[in-house]
Structure 1
Amino acid sequence: MKASLPVPVPFDEIFHGIDLSEEEKNLITEKIELISVDKDDILFKQGDIINHQYYVYDGCLRTYHIDENGKEHTLQFAIKHWWISDYIAYFGDNKAVLNTECIKKAQLFKISKENFEAIYKFSPKIEHLFRRKLEKALVRHEKRILANLTNTAKERYLAFLNKYPDIEKHIKNYHIASYLGITTESLSRVRKDIAKSH
Protein backbone atom coordinates (compact mmCIF):
# COMPACT_ATOMS: atom_id res chain seq x y z
CA MET A 1 0.00 0.00 0.00
CA LYS A 2 1.46 3.33 -1.00
CA ALA A 3 0.63 6.96 -1.61
CA SER A 4 -0.36 7.61 -5.18
CA LEU A 5 0.31 10.48 -7.55
CA PRO A 6 -2.17 13.28 -6.94
CA VAL A 7 -5.28 13.29 -9.10
CA PRO A 8 -8.16 15.72 -8.91
CA VAL A 9 -10.79 14.73 -6.35
CA PRO A 10 -13.80 13.44 -8.37
CA PHE A 11 -16.33 15.66 -6.60
CA ASP A 12 -19.16 14.79 -9.00
CA GLU A 13 -18.68 11.08 -8.20
CA ILE A 14 -18.12 11.16 -4.44
CA PHE A 15 -20.63 13.95 -3.75
CA HIS A 16 -23.11 13.12 -6.49
CA GLY A 17 -26.37 15.02 -6.15
CA ILE A 18 -25.16 18.26 -4.59
CA ASP A 19 -23.36 21.34 -5.87
CA LEU A 20 -20.23 22.19 -3.92
CA SER A 21 -18.83 25.67 -3.40
CA GLU A 22 -15.15 26.37 -3.98
CA GLU A 23 -14.70 26.64 -0.21
CA GLU A 24 -16.20 23.18 0.27
CA LYS A 25 -14.05 21.72 -2.50
CA ASN A 26 -10.91 23.26 -1.01
CA LEU A 27 -11.68 21.86 2.44
CA ILE A 28 -12.40 18.38 1.05
CA THR A 29 -9.14 18.44 -0.93
CA GLU A 30 -7.27 19.23 2.30
CA LYS A 31 -8.96 16.43 4.23
CA ILE A 32 -8.89 13.55 1.74
CA GLU A 33 -5.94 11.41 0.60
CA LEU A 34 -5.50 9.26 -2.50
CA ILE A 35 -3.77 5.91 -1.95
CA SER A 36 -2.88 3.06 -4.29
CA VAL A 37 -3.41 -0.54 -3.15
CA ASP A 38 -1.86 -3.50 -4.96
CA LYS A 39 -3.56 -6.83 -5.61
CA ASP A 40 -3.42 -9.08 -2.51
CA ASP A 41 -2.60 -6.16 -0.18
CA ILE A 42 -4.52 -6.16 3.11
CA LEU A 43 -6.10 -2.76 3.74
CA PHE A 44 -6.98 -3.62 7.34
CA LYS A 45 -7.39 -6.79 9.38
CA GLN A 46 -9.23 -8.12 12.41
CA GLY A 47 -7.98 -6.41 15.56
CA ASP A 48 -6.91 -3.16 13.86
CA ILE A 49 -8.13 0.23 15.07
CA ILE A 50 -10.44 1.62 12.38
CA ASN A 51 -10.53 5.36 11.89
CA HIS A 52 -11.01 5.71 8.12
CA GLN A 53 -13.50 5.18 5.34
CA TYR A 54 -12.38 4.50 1.77
CA TYR A 55 -14.01 5.51 -1.51
CA VAL A 56 -13.17 3.16 -4.38
CA TYR A 57 -12.03 5.26 -7.34
CA ASP A 58 -11.11 2.12 -9.27
CA GLY A 59 -10.29 -1.51 -8.55
CA CYS A 60 -12.01 -4.08 -6.36
CA LEU A 61 -11.75 -5.09 -2.70
CA ARG A 62 -13.29 -7.80 -0.54
CA THR A 63 -14.35 -7.54 3.10
CA TYR A 64 -14.54 -10.78 5.06
CA HIS A 65 -14.54 -12.26 8.57
CA ILE A 66 -12.54 -15.29 9.70
CA ASP A 67 -14.37 -17.31 12.36
CA GLU A 68 -12.80 -19.31 15.18
CA ASN A 69 -12.61 -22.37 12.93
CA GLY A 70 -10.65 -20.47 10.28
CA LYS A 71 -13.57 -20.27 7.85
CA GLU A 72 -13.95 -17.10 5.77
CA HIS A 73 -17.30 -15.32 5.46
CA THR A 74 -17.38 -12.65 2.74
CA LEU A 75 -19.60 -9.70 3.59
CA GLN A 76 -18.98 -7.35 0.69
CA PHE A 77 -17.14 -6.67 -2.53
CA ALA A 78 -16.35 -3.00 -3.06
CA ILE A 79 -16.12 -1.82 -6.66
CA LYS A 80 -15.90 1.59 -8.32
CA HIS A 81 -18.05 4.26 -6.59
CA TRP A 82 -18.48 2.19 -3.42
CA TRP A 83 -17.41 3.09 0.11
CA ILE A 84 -15.72 0.51 2.32
CA SER A 85 -14.65 0.21 5.95
CA ASP A 86 -15.32 -1.96 9.01
CA TYR A 87 -18.37 0.00 10.10
CA ILE A 88 -18.85 -2.07 13.25
CA ALA A 89 -15.48 -0.76 14.43
CA TYR A 90 -15.71 2.66 12.75
CA PHE A 91 -19.01 3.66 14.37
CA GLY A 92 -18.65 1.57 17.50
CA ASP A 93 -15.12 2.63 18.47
CA ASN A 94 -14.13 -1.03 18.65
CA LYS A 95 -11.32 -3.00 17.04
CA ALA A 96 -11.95 -4.42 13.56
CA VAL A 97 -13.85 -7.69 13.28
CA LEU A 98 -13.36 -7.73 9.51
CA ASN A 99 -10.49 -7.98 7.03
CA THR A 100 -10.29 -6.17 3.71
CA GLU A 101 -8.07 -7.36 0.89
CA CYS A 102 -7.49 -5.90 -2.55
CA ILE A 103 -8.46 -8.39 -5.26
CA LYS A 104 -7.89 -6.02 -8.18
CA LYS A 105 -5.35 -3.19 -7.99
CA ALA A 106 -7.17 -0.16 -6.65
CA GLN A 107 -6.99 3.56 -6.09
CA LEU A 108 -8.86 4.71 -3.00
CA PHE A 109 -9.72 8.07 -1.52
CA LYS A 110 -9.09 7.75 2.22
CA ILE A 111 -10.67 10.02 4.83
CA SER A 112 -10.52 9.86 8.61
CA LYS A 113 -13.46 10.10 10.98
CA GLU A 114 -12.10 13.38 12.34
CA ASN A 115 -11.80 14.87 8.86
CA PHE A 116 -15.30 13.71 7.93
CA GLU A 117 -16.64 15.40 11.07
CA ALA A 118 -14.82 18.62 10.13
CA ILE A 119 -16.42 18.52 6.67
CA TYR A 120 -19.87 17.84 8.16
CA LYS A 121 -19.48 20.77 10.56
CA PHE A 122 -18.49 23.09 7.72
CA SER A 123 -21.17 21.86 5.30
CA PRO A 124 -24.55 20.59 6.59
CA LYS A 125 -25.59 19.64 3.03
CA ILE A 126 -22.69 17.16 2.83
CA GLU A 127 -23.72 15.69 6.18
CA HIS A 128 -27.28 15.35 4.87
CA LEU A 129 -26.01 13.62 1.70
CA PHE A 130 -24.06 11.03 3.67
CA ARG A 131 -26.91 10.46 6.12
CA ARG A 132 -29.06 9.57 3.12
CA LYS A 133 -26.32 7.25 1.84
CA LEU A 134 -26.22 5.49 5.21
CA GLU A 135 -30.00 5.09 5.21
CA LYS A 136 -29.89 3.49 1.75
CA ALA A 137 -27.01 1.24 2.81
CA LEU A 138 -29.02 0.06 5.82
CA VAL A 139 -31.96 -0.80 3.55
CA ARG A 140 -29.68 -2.77 1.20
CA HIS A 141 -28.13 -4.58 4.17
CA GLU A 142 -31.49 -5.68 5.57
CA LYS A 143 -32.71 -6.75 2.12
CA ARG A 144 -29.61 -8.93 1.78
CA ILE A 145 -30.19 -10.54 5.18
CA LEU A 146 -33.79 -11.28 4.20
CA ALA A 147 -32.70 -12.69 0.83
CA ASN A 148 -30.13 -14.96 2.50
CA LEU A 149 -32.86 -16.29 4.79
CA THR A 150 -35.53 -16.83 2.13
CA ASN A 151 -33.98 -17.15 -1.35
CA THR A 152 -32.54 -20.26 -2.94
CA ALA A 153 -28.83 -20.50 -3.73
CA LYS A 154 -29.65 -19.98 -7.40
CA GLU A 155 -31.65 -16.82 -6.65
CA ARG A 156 -28.85 -15.47 -4.45
CA TYR A 157 -26.28 -16.17 -7.19
CA LEU A 158 -28.36 -14.40 -9.86
CA ALA A 159 -28.79 -11.42 -7.52
CA PHE A 160 -25.01 -11.41 -6.98
CA LEU A 161 -24.38 -11.29 -10.75
CA ASN A 162 -26.84 -8.41 -11.06
CA LYS A 163 -25.23 -6.50 -8.19
CA TYR A 164 -21.63 -7.10 -9.29
CA PRO A 165 -21.59 -7.37 -13.11
CA ASP A 166 -18.28 -8.48 -14.65
CA ILE A 167 -16.70 -9.11 -11.25
CA GLU A 168 -16.35 -12.88 -11.58
CA LYS A 169 -13.18 -12.68 -13.68
CA HIS A 170 -11.39 -10.90 -10.83
CA ILE A 171 -12.38 -13.11 -7.89
CA LYS A 172 -12.03 -16.74 -6.87
CA ASN A 173 -14.89 -19.22 -6.67
CA TYR A 174 -14.55 -19.57 -2.92
CA HIS A 175 -14.96 -15.80 -2.56
CA ILE A 176 -18.31 -15.98 -4.32
CA ALA A 177 -19.37 -19.09 -2.41
CA SER A 178 -18.53 -17.52 0.95
CA TYR A 179 -20.49 -14.38 -0.01
CA LEU A 180 -23.51 -16.51 -0.92
CA GLY A 181 -23.18 -18.70 2.18
CA ILE A 182 -22.73 -21.92 0.20
CA THR A 183 -19.91 -24.34 -0.65
CA THR A 184 -17.90 -24.13 -3.87
CA GLU A 185 -19.50 -27.46 -4.86
CA SER A 186 -22.96 -25.94 -4.47
CA LEU A 187 -21.85 -22.94 -6.52
CA SER A 188 -20.74 -25.29 -9.30
CA ARG A 189 -24.13 -27.03 -9.26
CA VAL A 190 -25.96 -23.70 -9.42
CA ARG A 191 -23.91 -22.63 -12.44
CA LYS A 192 -24.58 -25.93 -14.20
CA ASP A 193 -28.31 -25.58 -13.51
CA ILE A 194 -28.32 -22.03 -14.96
CA ALA A 195 -26.35 -23.19 -18.02
CA LYS A 196 -28.88 -25.99 -18.65
CA SER A 197 -31.83 -23.61 -18.41
CA HIS A 198 -30.26 -21.41 -21.09
Structure 2
Amino acid sequence: MKNNHLLIQFIKNTYPISDYAAALIADNFERITYTKHTLMLKEGKINSDYLYLESGYMRSYVLDTEGNEVTTNIFKPNQMVFEVASYFQRKPSKENIETITECTAWGGKYESFQKLFHSLPEFREFGRAVLVKGFISFKERTISMITEKAEQRYEKLLSESPDILQYVPLKYIASYLGITDSSLSRLRKDFLRK
Protein backbone atom coordinates (compact mmCIF):
# COMPACT_ATOMS: atom_id res chain seq x y z
CA MET A 1 0.00 0.00 0.00
CA LYS A 2 1.06 3.58 -0.62
CA ASN A 3 1.90 5.64 2.40
CA ASN A 4 0.50 9.14 2.40
CA HIS A 5 0.30 10.13 6.02
CA LEU A 6 -1.62 13.39 5.44
CA LEU A 7 -4.31 11.74 3.31
CA ILE A 8 -4.69 8.84 5.74
CA GLN A 9 -4.93 11.27 8.66
CA PHE A 10 -7.55 13.33 6.78
CA ILE A 11 -9.62 10.21 6.15
CA LYS A 12 -9.44 9.18 9.82
CA ASN A 13 -10.26 12.71 11.02
CA THR A 14 -13.26 12.88 8.70
CA TYR A 15 -14.67 9.55 9.84
CA PRO A 16 -13.16 7.38 12.59
CA ILE A 17 -12.05 4.15 10.92
CA SER A 18 -9.22 1.67 11.35
CA ASP A 19 -5.71 2.38 10.09
CA TYR A 20 -6.11 -0.54 7.69
CA ALA A 21 -9.36 0.78 6.14
CA ALA A 22 -7.96 4.33 5.88
CA ALA A 23 -4.81 3.02 4.15
CA LEU A 24 -6.95 0.87 1.83
CA ILE A 25 -8.95 3.94 0.80
CA ALA A 26 -5.81 6.06 0.41
CA ASP A 27 -4.29 3.37 -1.82
CA ASN A 28 -6.91 4.28 -4.47
CA PHE A 29 -5.49 7.81 -4.79
CA GLU A 30 -2.55 8.81 -7.00
CA ARG A 31 -0.25 11.72 -6.21
CA ILE A 32 -0.60 14.58 -8.71
CA THR A 33 1.18 17.92 -8.99
CA TYR A 34 -0.28 20.91 -10.80
CA THR A 35 1.25 24.15 -11.95
CA LYS A 36 -0.28 27.52 -11.15
CA HIS A 37 -3.41 28.42 -13.18
CA THR A 38 -4.14 24.87 -14.37
CA LEU A 39 -7.77 24.46 -15.38
CA MET A 40 -8.63 21.18 -13.70
CA LEU A 41 -12.29 21.09 -14.63
CA LYS A 42 -13.84 23.07 -17.45
CA GLU A 43 -17.49 23.97 -17.67
CA GLY A 44 -19.25 21.42 -19.89
CA LYS A 45 -16.92 18.53 -18.92
CA ILE A 46 -17.73 15.73 -16.47
CA ASN A 47 -15.82 15.77 -13.18
CA SER A 48 -14.17 12.34 -12.87
CA ASP A 49 -11.53 13.21 -10.25
CA TYR A 50 -12.04 13.20 -6.50
CA LEU A 51 -9.10 15.20 -5.11
CA TYR A 52 -7.58 15.57 -1.70
CA LEU A 53 -5.62 18.85 -1.73
CA GLU A 54 -2.36 18.32 0.15
CA SER A 55 -0.79 21.71 -0.60
CA GLY A 56 -1.67 24.81 -2.56
CA TYR A 57 -4.88 26.68 -3.30
CA MET A 58 -7.64 26.19 -5.87
CA ARG A 59 -10.93 27.86 -6.65
CA SER A 60 -14.16 27.01 -8.39
CA TYR A 61 -15.97 29.63 -10.44
CA VAL A 62 -18.80 30.19 -12.87
CA LEU A 63 -19.41 32.83 -15.52
CA ASP A 64 -22.32 35.15 -14.88
CA THR A 65 -24.73 36.32 -17.60
CA GLU A 66 -22.26 39.03 -18.63
CA GLY A 67 -19.28 36.68 -18.84
CA ASN A 68 -17.66 37.76 -15.54
CA GLU A 69 -15.99 35.13 -13.36
CA VAL A 70 -17.69 34.61 -9.99
CA THR A 71 -15.71 32.58 -7.45
CA THR A 72 -17.99 29.99 -5.85
CA ASN A 73 -15.43 28.34 -3.56
CA ILE A 74 -11.82 28.63 -2.46
CA PHE A 75 -10.07 25.39 -1.57
CA LYS A 76 -7.07 25.23 0.72
CA PRO A 77 -4.84 22.40 1.95
CA ASN A 78 -6.51 19.48 3.71
CA GLN A 79 -9.79 19.71 1.80
CA MET A 80 -11.53 17.59 -0.82
CA VAL A 81 -11.93 19.24 -4.23
CA PHE A 82 -14.57 18.14 -6.73
CA GLU A 83 -17.77 19.40 -8.33
CA VAL A 84 -20.42 17.39 -6.53
CA ALA A 85 -23.28 17.46 -9.07
CA SER A 86 -21.08 16.57 -12.03
CA TYR A 87 -19.14 13.90 -10.12
CA PHE A 88 -22.12 11.99 -8.77
CA GLN A 89 -24.69 12.59 -11.51
CA ARG A 90 -22.14 12.14 -14.34
CA LYS A 91 -23.36 15.29 -16.09
CA PRO A 92 -21.43 18.21 -17.53
CA SER A 93 -20.24 20.66 -14.91
CA LYS A 94 -21.53 24.22 -14.72
CA GLU A 95 -18.42 25.21 -12.77
CA ASN A 96 -14.73 25.50 -13.56
CA ILE A 97 -12.02 24.49 -11.10
CA GLU A 98 -8.52 25.94 -11.41
CA THR A 99 -5.35 26.03 -9.39
CA ILE A 100 -4.43 29.41 -7.92
CA THR A 101 -0.96 28.31 -6.84
CA GLU A 102 1.18 25.27 -7.53
CA CYS A 103 -0.63 22.34 -5.93
CA THR A 104 0.01 18.82 -4.76
CA ALA A 105 -3.04 16.62 -4.56
CA TRP A 106 -4.07 12.99 -4.34
CA GLY A 107 -6.66 12.07 -6.96
CA GLY A 108 -9.00 9.16 -7.31
CA LYS A 109 -11.11 8.20 -10.29
CA TYR A 110 -14.87 7.79 -10.23
CA GLU A 111 -14.74 4.14 -11.33
CA SER A 112 -12.34 3.15 -8.51
CA PHE A 113 -14.49 4.85 -5.95
CA GLN A 114 -17.64 3.16 -7.17
CA LYS A 115 -15.98 -0.19 -6.51
CA LEU A 116 -14.87 0.96 -3.06
CA PHE A 117 -18.33 2.33 -2.32
CA HIS A 118 -19.88 -1.09 -2.92
CA SER A 119 -17.19 -3.16 -1.22
CA LEU A 120 -16.07 -1.12 1.80
CA PRO A 121 -18.69 0.22 4.25
CA GLU A 122 -16.08 2.50 5.85
CA PHE A 123 -15.61 4.27 2.52
CA ARG A 124 -19.36 4.88 2.26
CA GLU A 125 -19.31 6.47 5.71
CA PHE A 126 -16.22 8.54 4.88
CA GLY A 127 -17.85 9.75 1.65
CA ARG A 128 -21.06 10.57 3.46
CA ALA A 129 -19.13 12.56 6.09
CA VAL A 130 -17.34 14.56 3.35
CA LEU A 131 -20.67 15.34 1.67
CA VAL A 132 -22.39 16.34 4.90
CA LYS A 133 -19.52 18.65 5.84
CA GLY A 134 -19.58 20.19 2.36
CA PHE A 135 -23.35 20.64 2.45
CA ILE A 136 -23.22 22.34 5.86
CA SER A 137 -20.47 24.68 4.66
CA PHE A 138 -22.45 25.51 1.51
CA LYS A 139 -25.63 26.15 3.52
CA GLU A 140 -23.83 28.40 6.01
CA ARG A 141 -22.20 30.37 3.19
CA THR A 142 -25.53 30.79 1.36
CA ILE A 143 -27.24 32.04 4.50
CA SER A 144 -24.36 34.38 5.35
CA MET A 145 -24.58 35.98 1.89
CA ILE A 146 -28.18 36.89 2.73
CA THR A 147 -28.04 37.66 6.45
CA GLU A 148 -24.57 39.15 7.03
CA LYS A 149 -22.96 42.36 5.89
CA ALA A 150 -19.78 42.24 3.85
CA GLU A 151 -17.76 43.29 6.91
CA GLN A 152 -19.03 40.26 8.83
CA ARG A 153 -18.25 37.86 5.97
CA TYR A 154 -14.75 39.32 5.64
CA GLU A 155 -14.13 39.12 9.39
CA LYS A 156 -15.27 35.48 9.40
CA LEU A 157 -12.92 34.67 6.51
CA LEU A 158 -10.06 36.39 8.37
CA SER A 159 -10.69 34.41 11.55
CA GLU A 160 -11.28 31.02 9.90
CA SER A 161 -8.79 31.16 7.01
CA PRO A 162 -6.24 33.98 7.39
CA ASP A 163 -3.85 32.05 5.12
CA ILE A 164 -6.14 32.61 2.14
CA LEU A 165 -5.25 36.31 2.16
CA GLN A 166 -1.58 35.41 1.64
CA TYR A 167 -2.07 33.09 -1.33
CA VAL A 168 -5.30 34.03 -3.10
CA PRO A 169 -5.57 37.15 -5.29
CA LEU A 170 -7.86 39.81 -3.84
CA LYS A 171 -10.12 39.79 -6.92
CA TYR A 172 -11.01 36.13 -6.21
CA ILE A 173 -11.59 36.83 -2.52
CA ALA A 174 -13.82 39.81 -3.34
CA SER A 175 -15.84 37.73 -5.77
CA TYR A 176 -16.14 34.92 -3.21
CA LEU A 177 -17.40 37.42 -0.61
CA GLY A 178 -19.89 38.87 -3.10
CA ILE A 179 -18.33 42.34 -3.15
CA THR A 180 -16.32 44.48 -5.55
CA ASP A 181 -12.52 44.74 -5.49
CA SER A 182 -12.76 48.36 -4.29
CA SER A 183 -15.12 47.38 -1.45
CA LEU A 184 -12.66 44.71 -0.34
CA SER A 185 -9.80 47.23 -0.41
CA ARG A 186 -11.86 49.57 1.76
CA LEU A 187 -12.68 46.75 4.19
CA ARG A 188 -9.03 45.76 4.45
CA LYS A 189 -8.01 49.35 5.22
CA ASP A 190 -10.73 49.60 7.88
CA PHE A 191 -9.57 46.37 9.53
CA LEU A 192 -5.93 47.48 9.48
CA ARG A 193 -6.91 50.67 11.31
CA LYS A 194 -8.62 48.70 14.11
- Return the TM-score normalized by structure 1: 0.88
Deviations 1:109-149 (A, max 9, x none): 11112211212222202211221221122111111100000
Q: What residue ranges of structure 2 are gaps of 5+ in the alignment?
A: none
2:112 alignment counterpart:
115
- Is residue 55 of structure 2 the alignment partner of residue 58 of structure 1? yes
1:3 alignment counterpart:
none
2:94 alignment counterpart:
97
1:40 alignment counterpart:
37
Counterpart-to-counterpart distance in 2, 1:117 and 1:88: 15
- Is residue 83 of structure 2 the alignment partner of residue 83 of structure 1? no
SS of residue matched to 1:68: coil
Instruction: Flag the 1:84–1:27 CA change in 2: closer, same or farther, 3 A.
Output: closer
Q: What residue ranges of structure 1 are gaps of 5+ in the alignment?
A: 1-6
2:162 alignment counterpart:
165
Match of residue 25, structure 1, among 23, 26, 31: 23
Contact 2:62/2:70 (8 A) holds in 1: yes
Instruction: Flag the 1:188–1:119 CA change in 2: closer, same or farther, 3 A.
Output: same
Deviates more, 1:174-183 or 1:90-99: 90-99
Contact 1:15/1:126 (8 A) holds in 2: no
Counterpart-to-counterpart distance in 1, 2:25 and 2:129: 21
Q: How many residues align?
A: 189
1:135 alignment counterpart:
132
Instruction: Flag the 1:73–1:194 CA change in 2: closer, same or farther, 3 A.
Output: same
Identity among equivalent positions (%) equals: 27
Instruction: Flag the 1:28–1:167 CA change in 2: closer, same or farther, 3 A.
Output: closer
SS of residue matched to 2:101: strand
- Return the TM-score normalized by structure 2: 0.89
